[in-house]
Amino acid sequence: MTNVLFIFNVKDKWSVLHNLILKNLQKKRTTLVFCSNKKEGDALSEYFWNNSPSNFLAHQVNQVCMNEMICIASEKVDWMDDTLINSTDSMVNGFNRYLKLVELVTEDEAAKIKARERYKFYKDCGYRLSSMDVSNINF
């Protein structure tokens, strides 16, 4: 069953994503980052390529490639099953095929309300839930 982690009070979503993915790479786990739309996915892709010469994250965008550990998607991608990071304010269809789902929750009130709705849904369905403030994560 999918383990669900809510990370709340996220100020810099892309930096948090970058650090979470680096941790997953160290564990040799694949990661799918789900974005709201193609524009956001493309901007995140650009950030991953140009953020740091020593920590750039090689990845694919909206396409299957079995040799890549990271995929950024704004549409359904069927090939990954380790970690799904939801960068949107809505539920991702097919989340339950992943071992771990990470829900990033920004400080925006509307985002918090939607995150509470998703939390209640996961809890009502019996998923194992945990949550933490981003300030308590040791990257």
**Residue of 41, 39, 48 lying closest to 15 (CA atoms):** 48
pLDDT at 131: 96
pLDDT at 112: 96
- Where do the DSSP E strands lie in the chain? 3-10, 31-34, 60-61, 70-73, 83-86, 100-106, 128-133
pLDDT at 72: 81
Domain boundaries, the chain: 3-136
**Residue of 61, 4, 12, 11 lying closest to 35 (CA atoms):** 61
The per-residue pLDDT for range 109-129, each reduced to its tens digit, is: 999 999 999 999 999 999 999
Asked if the model's pLDDT at residue 28 lies above 80, the reply is yes
pLDDT at 35: 93
The per-residue pLDDT for range 93-103, each reduced to its tens digit, is: 889 999 999 99
CATH architecture for the domain at 3-136: 3-Layer(aba) Sandwich (3.40)
